[in-house]
Structure formats: structure tokens, C-alpha cells
Amino acid sequence: MSHVAVVGGGSRAAEWVARFLASGLDVVVADVRTVRAGVEELWPEADRLGLFPGASMARLRDARPGEVESARLVQVVDGEVPLHATGLVATDATARGCSPVHLLPLVEVAGPQAHELAEFYRSIGMTPVPADAPADERWPLGEGLVQLTGADPDTLIAVMRALRPSGMGAGASIAHHEARRFASAAVAQWRPGDIVPAPLALYRTPVEPDWVDYNGHMTESAYLTAAGWASDALFRYIGDDEQYRAAGHSFYTVETHIHYVREVAVHEPIEFTTQVLGVDAKRVHLFHSMLHAADGGLLCTAEQMLVHVDTRAGRSAPILPHVAAALHAIASSHAALAVPPQVGTVMQLPPARP
């Protein structure tokens, strides 16, 4: 994806820069010194909301001649609109974000480029809304969250995530943000004839701040959360994506066995390998190994049984042919792998000594 440019300085410019950097984009500005301190202050909050693959403050730099005009998007916070911009141009009149822009999903779009602007902001996990939309549609995505939380970053993020199960307002927005983040990290979908790695390595991430508990390391439920995202990476690889789910097809987990091996702290890199142990008409038996991405040490294992579901009928259903073909290709490739020793284990106390 090409670079974006931010014109202007001050706190709002820093918020936009932080949003774009957190979305894995290259960002150019007229003078980095006018925004660097603000972005550095906001970066931990953007990190807490969730970073796209490749997100880094190192991708912020001074614009070279012509780079503002050639940017995919020019976000004008203050100052003059570039006369010869070749891409999208956004001002407060055509694309207004609600502060704090780096956290809130709302961006109100208007003008002749409204559709294209909306598509851009949607691609980075924001929720574009027409500027003339009813206030009750815009308020819960922006100012309503600010009023409810006092704009405290931790509280704001917590409220949005708490609303996620509702599928409404900021809850739908945070789900969309997560889907865009993980879709952007997805590998190419399997095609007939592809050679399948054994095992698969589809998901890698730093330990996110929300995954760490009061003991300073990844909490037990977060191991399952991370394994769930590894499963999501597998789903995308086999063709179970947003379109597949929108058509009423999905996989539900019916059983999970986790072995906790080693603790890991915030921001440490982790990666998963995934082995498909078996597939039938409706079920998938798989095994994730979570490894420390720096030293390769085993952190945990997660064995799971998934069932394919017709979500509209609310019952199990055969896996659709193209997804089934991918799963059978993976299972065939993985058949020669050793069965991990954790598979099928039973939790029990040892027999009492006489």
C-alpha cells in the first residue's frame, strides 16, 4: 500500500499520524518534529487498541519533494490543501474524525470523494458515516464514547470491547477493526495443487497489552484467545472468510484442551504452528503449538475439535466442497507428522499410594 500524508501539526495531526502508523502505513509529514512527541505519547494507546501487521513508528518520516502530492491520501488537519494532489484529499469538511482519532472509530465523510474516502477509512478499521447521517447514528461511535469515558484511553478501549458481543455501534466497529487487522495478516488462500507446509505457520503476533494480567504475564484465558486467532488464520487459508460466514457457514469450537508450558510477557513475540489431525464431513480435529518467536521455546499447546455449522439453521452441516478440499489437502500433507504427545490426554490425579 502506498504512503499517506498528514498536513499540519499539533495534537490532532499526531492522532491521525498515530492512526495511520498503527494501520501499518507509511506516513509522511512536512516536519516530523512537529508531531513526533505527540505520536510517541499516543503510541501505547494505539498499541492497546491493536496494531496492524508492519505497524511501526519508524514508518514516519519527512516528506521528500512531491511525496505529499503523490500520497494515496492527504489528510489535511490545518494549512493549505495541496494543489496537485493525485490521490484522495481529506479535510475536516470531507472526512472529520472524532478526537481521539487514533482510538475512536468514527469518521464523518462528505463531498465528491465520499465513497472513496469511506472505503479507505474502512480498510484501516474505522467506521465511516455520512456527515448528514442522523445524530443517533454518529453519537455512539464518537462523542457518546467520549462523554461516557471522559476520553480516558483505557476506559474507552474497554467500553468498546465490552460492546463487541452486542454487534451494535462501537461493538460492531471494534469487531470490524479486529477483522481488518487479522485479514491484513492472512496468507494467500489455498488453491488446488498448492503444496501445503507441514505444519502450517499462519499466525504471528506480539503479546498484546490486554492479554497480560496482574502477575505481569499472559493470562490463562489469553492463551485461548491467541489460539482462536490462529484458528482464524487457518480459516482464511482454507477459504472460510467474511463472505463465507455472511452466507451462513462457519466453524464452532466444541472442545478444547490447553497445556500451559511457559509464561510470556507483554510485547514478546509469539507464533503458532498448526497441524490438522483429522477431517470428516462436518468436523476438524486440529492442534496448535504456541512458540516464542525469538527463541522457539514452547509456550502452550491447544488441541481443538471444530464442527461446521449452518448458522441460519442453527445446526451442524457438511463443510462446503471448496473448504473441505483445502482441509483434506492439509490433512494429507500433515499425515506424516508425529502426533503430539499432548493429544488426547486426560486430566486426573494420580492414584493414591497405598
Condensed to tens digits (0 to 9), the pLDDT of residues 285-342 reads: 999 999 999 999 999 999 999 999 999 999 999 999 999 999 999 999 999 999 999 9
Instruction: Give pairs for 284-290: CB < 8 Å, separation 24+.
Output: 284/251, 284/308, 284/319, 284/327, 286/231, 286/234, 287/340, 287/342, 287/343, 288/227, 288/230, 288/231, 289/199, 289/340, 290/223, 290/226, 290/227, 290/230
Predicted confidence at residue 207, as pLDDT, reads 87
Predicted confidence at residue 354, as pLDDT, reads 83
| Beta pairing, strands 200-206 & 95-97 | unpaired
Domains of the chain: 4-159 (3.40.50.720), 187-334 (3.10.129.10)
What average pLDDT does the chain have? 94
pLDDT tens, residue by residue, 284-295? 999 999 999 999
Predicted confidence at residue 1, as pLDDT, reads 53
The yes-or-no verdict on residue 148 having pLDDT over 70 is yes
Q: What is the pTM of this model?
A: 0.75
Residue 106 — very low, low, confident or very high, per pLDDT cuts 50/70/90?
very high
* Mean pLDDT for the stretch of residues 151-159: 91
Those residues with Cβ within 8 angstroms of residue 236's Cβ, 6 or more apart along the chain or in another chain: 182, 183, 186, 187, 189
